[in-house]
Amino acid sequence: MVKATDILDQEPILEVKDLQTSFFTDKFEVKAVDGVNFAVPKGKTLGIVGESGSGKSITSLSILRLIQNPGKIIGGEILFKGENILKKSEAEMRKIRGNEISMIFQEPMTSLNPVYTVGQQISESFMIHQNMSKKEAMKRSAEMLELVGIPSPKQRVKQYPHELSGGMRQRVMIAIALACDPELLIADEPTTALDVTIQAQILELMKDLQDRLGMSIIMITHDLGVVAETCDYVAVMYMGKVVEYAKVRDVFKNPKHPYTVGLLNSLPRHDIDLGDVELQVIEGSVPSPDNLPKGCRFAPRCPFATELCHEKLPDLEQSDNGNQIRCWIYTDEWDGDQEVDVSAKRTT
Amino acid sequence: MREEINTGAAQIKAAPNPTLVKLSTFWRKLTSSKSAVVGGILIIAIILIALIGPYFVPYSPSATDTANRLNGPSLAHWLGTDNYGRDIFSRIIDGMSITLYVGFSAVLIGMTVGVFLGIISGYYGGKIDTIIMRFMDILLAFPGILLALAIVAVLGSSLNNVIIAVAVFSVPVFARIVRGSTLSVKKLEYIDAVKALGASDARIIFKHILPNVASPIIVQATLSIATSILSASGLSFLGLGAQPPMPEWGAMLADGRNYMYDAPHVATIPGIAIVIVVLAFNLFGDGLRDALDPKMKN
Amino acid sequence: MFQFIVRRLIQTIPVLIGVTILTFSMVRLIPGDPAQIMAGESASQEQIELTRERLGLNDPLPVQYFDYVSGVVTGDLGNSIRNGRPVADEIKVRIGTTVSLAFYSTLLSVFLGIIFGVFAAVRRGKLSDTLVMIAALFGLSMPNFWLGLILIQYFAIGRDVLFFNTGWFLASGWGTWQQMVLPVITLGTAGAAIIARMTRSSMLEVIDQDYIRTARAKGVKERIVVYRHALKNALIPVVTVVGLQFGALLGGAVITENVFAINGLGRLMVGAINSRDFPIVQSGVLVFAFLFVFVNIMVDVIYRLLNKRIDLN
């Protein structure tokens, strides 16, 4: 078994080891996150990519321990600055949330409380974590709005969420998240619900703020384009497991896992000329999480799958170029074509 | 605000997809709801008692026995006797059918009128809609049983007038629900298709709209039976409904209040009987709502 | 907001006109001669003619209606048949009692309803949730006259429990707190049950919203998440129910006043119906309806204050 920190050039601020989060219904257990490993380098951005249902959002909520019933974190470790936060009390956890680790969500339209002003909602962070007075917190809130690029912040703090556009609201969410100068910001699909032009602005803002404030970011997305623009490292998730974990540049240059290759093939590229190549789609769809494949989770959709893939689940292993990959093709046990070229798919 | 008001008892909205829930899934959902099962069993038991109970009661409900006035529960009189020495158990059993008669007939009348007005209003819209709905607003401006009280004042005190009064009081509730559901059904494309095929308005209403608005009506009807029984027994308690010696529970309770100190059972027992019946319909209505309208499930 | 209130007042004018038309027609719908009815059964022929004259019953209906409405507006509601006193005076001395009974009962039902509703929602699916919801179901299935009599029996007449008697409160009248406790509980219980059910389902809906997750992610204590972030949102639909409940409560006051011998509007009306004192019945119904309409306007105002999303225009 490999260590997630192996591929980092920096110290990790957060290391997730064998995280397992399940949802329990009357009849069965759904393993939404099933033994996930990755590390987030200090001051850098890790992307977590996957289709919906891959467990990427559950992973992010697990880090803040915000999983609600009937969900439960049932195993693993989450080391934040070397301490396992799964062992912390709820009170200790509250001191971390919004203070040391913050989060912004996919739906800016519904993520702000409709009955409180923007100012009240930002102030709350200051008042909880820094014991500020109401007046002081409100002043700092206006400064935060200015920081996230909202014009006339002194007026805006008095407004209610419904008076702001989606992009504005996401800026407010970022202001709330960054109020207490966290060391780690988790962004769960922060731009998915926004218009394309606004998406670019928000991503630009996040990068700019990272440069100025130096926090680490986990960028959760289904969009490899976002990863290419904003991330330094990336973990590709499929059905509750990390299937490929590497530096972004290595993944784009030399993707190893057939699923990663599939994702890349479905992405229109402007950076390199691929000639007259059609965009590919990954055949099939994500299996229902209560009916997991026995072997590799991706086997039913994988064009290279052999009997071995259907029977046995591969481990995450270090490949020759440093990527960590969960695929039989790169192991000695591989029972298929030894000369198989996964990335060759792209030019066919 | 009026437009947004739901009825207090049942929060029913028009289902976005008004296709009737399949009968088998409906049955499965209904039987998996504890409140529906308990309520349903109670209702069946209550109806059976109302139908056959009077043939098996130990005493005639009107037989007086002055030697045994205001006796507490005993082997001879399971629930004791009232101030005329009448057997309370027999009277309760005999009164069961009165209670059900009041509840069912008031709701039947209120529902029929309300559904009719609601469909007309929703289907035709325009001026008719405005007139009907403004009239419903006016009826709703009379708080609680006040409207029923006013109607009884005009018609005179009797059980049947109470039924009419309580029915009128429930008309706007049905009209509003049905109007809302009709509007949402009318928007569906297949209604346009049926129209294009030359179906008459009556046919569209009976074949296509009515079945689709049935579930909120059924739920509201069940819950309305509960409130109607409560309102009607209240009016009888005030002396405006069933007249003595009829074994109507509200009237029995009113009789018993004069003997609260010496013989509290005379007033207590009819009250318990009302609670059981109303509870049964409320339970069943809650279960029905969960089974028919998944959106309203808590 | 001022503009909104004015607009809302203007909107109620058609409803108020409709209400007056109904109460106006009421007397004319009763089988028999309206003059006879309004003058009372024992009135002499002369009195009947006088009434006919006063009510202008020989005029065309629209004129009669106009006279009626101008009477209502100027506070002239005719005279009681029973004691000949002006109806307006009879109502004036009693309206305060009924309004305060309804007000305190509303207060109680809102207070209990919200507390138990939140309590049950927070403990969703647990035994305590089930018990509270069963109690609520009983609460709304109980006839309030029965509850009143039971309360009188145990807490006014009282029972000897160990070394003391539980007859702490009074069974009749209105004024002192000993007199007010039992009627308020009697009238407030059903409302409390309905509000508790509504609060619970509203809370359960709100607690799954994204902004609650945002609050938790900020490090807000769960207690504050529930009471500050969730409850304020959950109360918005509850306010509407409280308004409706106030109507049911005004109706219930009629019965409660009779159970506890409280000299309010409701008792006045029931007495009037029994003695066929129609001027009183007619105006009583009118006053109740007006009260309810204005309470609904107040509820609307509160609703707007709570719900920031609604555009004031």
**C103 and C245 co-located in one domain:** yes
Instruction: Identify which has the larger pLDDT, A13 or B186.
Output: A13
pLDDT in tens, C73-110: 888 888 887 787 888 888 888 999 999 999 999 999 99
Q: Which of C26, C260, C184 is nearest to B149 (CA)?
A: C26
The pLDDT confidence band at residue B44, using thresholds 50, 70 and 90, is very high
User: B260 to chain C: which residues are within 8 Å by CB?
Assistant: 149, 152-153, 157
Q: Is residue C114 part of a domain?
A: yes
- For chain A, the chains sharing at least 3 beta-carbon pairs closer than 8 angstroms are C
**DSSP helix/strand/coil, B81:** strand
Instruction: Identify which has the larger pLDDT, C29 or A94.
Output: A94
What integer is the mean pLDDT of B58-66?
A: 78
The pLDDT confidence band at residue B12, using thresholds 50, 70 and 90, is very low
Q: What is the DSSP letter of A97?
A: B
Out of C22, C138, C201, name the one closest to residue B298 (CB).
C201
What integer is the mean pLDDT of C42-71?
A: 82
Buried b (16+ CB within 10 A) or exposed e, B109-121: bbbebbbbbbbbb
Q: Is the pLDDT of residue A270 over 60?
A: no
CATH code for the domain of C281: 1.10.3720.10
Cα C269 to Cα C273: distance, rounded to the nearest angstrom: 6
Q: Is the pLDDT of residue A31 over 50?
A: yes
The residue with tokens 């109680």 is C108
**C266 and C223 co-located in one domain:** yes
- Residue C163 has phi, psi (to 5 degrees) of -110, 0
Q: Is residue C312 part of a domain?
A: no
Q: Is the pLDDT of residue A215 over 50?
A: yes
Confidence (pLDDT) at C67: 84
**C174 and C280 co-located in one domain:** yes
Q: Is the dihedral of CA A85, A90, A95, A98 positive or negative?
A: positive
The residue with tokens 């890790």 is A46
| Cross-chain residue pair B250–C145, CB shorter than 8 Å | yes
| Cross-chain residue pair C291–B143, CB shorter than 8 Å | yes
pLDDT in tens, C248-306: 888 889 999 998 988 889 899 888 888 888 888 888 889 988 888 888 888 888 888 87
In this complex, does chain B touch chain A, defined as having at least 3 beta-carbon pairs under 8 Å apart? no
Instruction: Identify which has the larger pLDDT, C305 or B3.
Output: C305
Cα B89 to Cα A53: distance, rounded to the nearest angstrom: 62
Determine contact: A334 vs chain C, CB below 8 A: no
Percent of chain B with pLDDT over 90: 22
pLDDT in tens, B274-285: 999 999 999 999
What integer is the mean pLDDT of A19-26?
A: 86
pLDDT in tens, C214-235: 999 998 998 899 988 999 888 8
Percent of chain A with pLDDT over 70: 94
**C239 and C127 co-located in one domain:** yes
Select the residue from C122, C209, C213, C311 to test the A interface by mutation, using most A Cβ atoms within 10 A: C213
Q: Is the pLDDT of residue B129 over 60?
A: yes
Select the residue from C23, C109, C146 to test the B interface by mutation, using most B Cβ atoms within 10 A: C146
**C155 and C279 co-located in one domain:** yes
Determine contact: A5 vs chain C, CB below 8 A: no
pLDDT in tens, A58-81: 999 999 998 888 888 988 889 988
| Cross-chain residue pair C216–A99, CB shorter than 8 Å | no
Cα C35 to Cα B175: distance, rounded to the nearest angstrom: 36
Cα B229 to Cα B162: distance, rounded to the nearest angstrom: 10
Confidence (pLDDT) at A110: 87
**C220 and C132 co-located in one domain:** yes
Confidence (pLDDT) at B16: 41
**DSSP helix/strand/coil, A19:** strand
Confidence (pLDDT) at C142: 92
Q: Is the peptide bond preceding residue C34 cis, with omega within 30 degrees of 0?
A: no
Q: Is residue C82 part of a domain?
A: no
Q: Is residue C121 part of a domain?
A: yes
**C27 and C162 co-located in one domain:** no
Confidence (pLDDT) at B7: 37
Q: Look at A105-119, B112-126, C161-175 and tell me which has the smallest mean pLDDT.
A: C161-175
pLDDT in tens, B178-202: 888 888 888 777 777 887 887 788 8
Q: Is residue C106 part of a domain?
A: yes
CB half-sphere exposure, C165, CA atoms < 13 A: 7
Mean pLDDT, chain A, rounded, equals: 85
Confidence (pLDDT) at C80: 82
Q: Is residue C78 part of a domain?
A: no
User: C214 to chain A: which residues are within 8 Å by CB?
Assistant: 105, 111-113, 173, 176
In contact, B240 and B145? CB cutoff 8 Å: no
In this complex, does chain C touch chain B, defined as having at least 3 beta-carbon pairs under 8 Å apart? yes
pLDDT in tens, C171-197: 788 888 888 889 999 999 999 999 999
In terms of DSSP bridges, do strands A184-188 and A101-104 run parallel, antiparallel, or are they unpaired? parallel
Q: Is residue C53 part of a domain?
A: yes
Cα B18 to Cα B223: distance, rounded to the nearest angstrom: 21
Mean pLDDT, chain C, rounded, equals: 86
Q: What is the 3-state secondary structure (H, E, C) of chain C?
A: CHHHHHHHHHHHHHHHHHHHHHHHHHHHHCCCCHHHHHHCCCCCHHHHHHHHHHHCCCCCHHHHHHHHHHHHHHCCCCECCCCCCEHHHHHHHHHHHHHHHHHHHHHHHHHHHHHHHHHHHHCCCCHHHHHHHHHHHHHHHCCHHHHHHHHHHHHHHHCEECCEECCCCCCCCCCCHHHHHHHHHHHHHHHHHHHHHHHHHHHHHHHCCHHHHHHHHCCCCHHHHHHHHHHHHHHHHHHHHHHHHHHHHHHHHHHHHHHCCCCCHHHHHHHHHHCCCHHHHHHHHHHHHHHHHHHHHHHHHHHHHHCCCCCCC
Q: Is the pLDDT of residue C42 over 90?
A: no
Determine contact: B174 vs chain C, CB below 8 A: no
Q: Of C41, C73, C105, which residue sits at a domain end?
A: C73
The pLDDT confidence band at residue A172, using thresholds 50, 70 and 90, is very high
Confidence (pLDDT) at A340: 74
**C234 and C106 co-located in one domain:** yes
Cα A323 to Cα A254: distance, rounded to the nearest angstrom: 9
Residue type, A17: K
Give the burial class of A297: count Cβ atoms within 10 A of its Cβ; 0-12 exposed, 13-18 middle, 19 or more buried: buried
CB neighbourhood size of A165 (10 A): 13
**C35 and C96 co-located in one domain:** no
User: C306 to chain A: which residues are within 8 Å by CB?
Assistant: 115
Confidence (pLDDT) at B5: 37
CATH of domain B51-292: 1.10.3720.10
Give the burial class of A221: count Cβ atoms within 10 A of its Cβ; 0-12 exposed, 13-18 middle, 19 or more buried: buried
Cα C173 to Cα B244: distance, rounded to the nearest angstrom: 27
What integer is the mean pLDDT of C197-209?
A: 90
Cα A97 to Cα B48: distance, rounded to the nearest angstrom: 61
Q: Is the pLDDT of residue B63 over 80?
A: no
The pLDDT confidence band at residue C313, using thresholds 50, 70 and 90, is very low
Instruction: Identify which has the larger pLDDT, A24 or A274.
Output: A24
Q: Angle at Cα C300 formed by Cα B132 and Cα A155, nearest 5°? A: 135
Cα B192 to Cα A129: distance, rounded to the nearest angstrom: 59
Q: Which residues contact A1 (CB under 8 A, 6 or more apart)?
A: A315, A316
Determine contact: C279 vs chain B, CB below 8 A: no
Q: Which residues contact C171 (CB under 8 A, 6 or more apart)?
A: C152, C156, C157, C182, C260, C261
What integer is the mean pLDDT of A316-325?
A: 80
- To the nearest 5 percent, what fractions of chain B are helix, strand and coil? 70, 0, 25
Instruction: Provide the whole-model pTM.
Output: 0.84
Select the residue from B99, B133, B142, B268 to test the C interface by mutation, using most C Cβ atoms within 10 A: B142
What integer is the mean pLDDT of B206-228?
A: 86
**C238 and C292 co-located in one domain:** yes
Percent of chain A with pLDDT over 90: 17
Q: In what order do the strands lie in the sheet with A83-84?
A: A29-41, A12-24, A71-80, A83-84
Q: Is the pLDDT of residue B11 over 60?
A: no
Q: Of C73, C103, C128, which residue sits at a domain end?
A: C73
**C247 and C100 co-located in one domain:** yes
Q: Is residue C220 part of a domain?
A: yes
Distances (CA, A) of A344 to A9, A164, A265, A322: 29, 48, 11, 20
**C113 and C66 co-located in one domain:** no
In contact, A72 and A39? CB cutoff 8 Å: no
Q: Where do the structural domains in chain B lie, given as residue ranges?
A: 51-292
Q: Is the pLDDT of residue B1 over 60?
A: no
Instruction: Identify which has the larger pLDDT, C312 or B215.
Output: B215
Tell me the longest C-alpha to C-alpha distance in chain B: 77
Domain encompassing residue C247: 88-306
What integer is the mean pLDDT of C62-69?
A: 85
Q: Which of C308, C313, C312, C295 is nearest to C240 (CA)?
A: C295
Helix (H) or strand (E) holding A346: none
In contact, B169 and B147? CB cutoff 8 Å: yes
Q: Is the pLDDT of residue C118 over 90?
A: yes
User: A90 to chain C: which residues are within 8 Å by CB?
Assistant: 222
How many residues would you count in chain C? 313
Report how many domains make up chain C: 2
Q: Of C15, C44, C73, which residue sits at a domain end?
A: C73
The pLDDT confidence band at residue A1, using thresholds 50, 70 and 90, is low
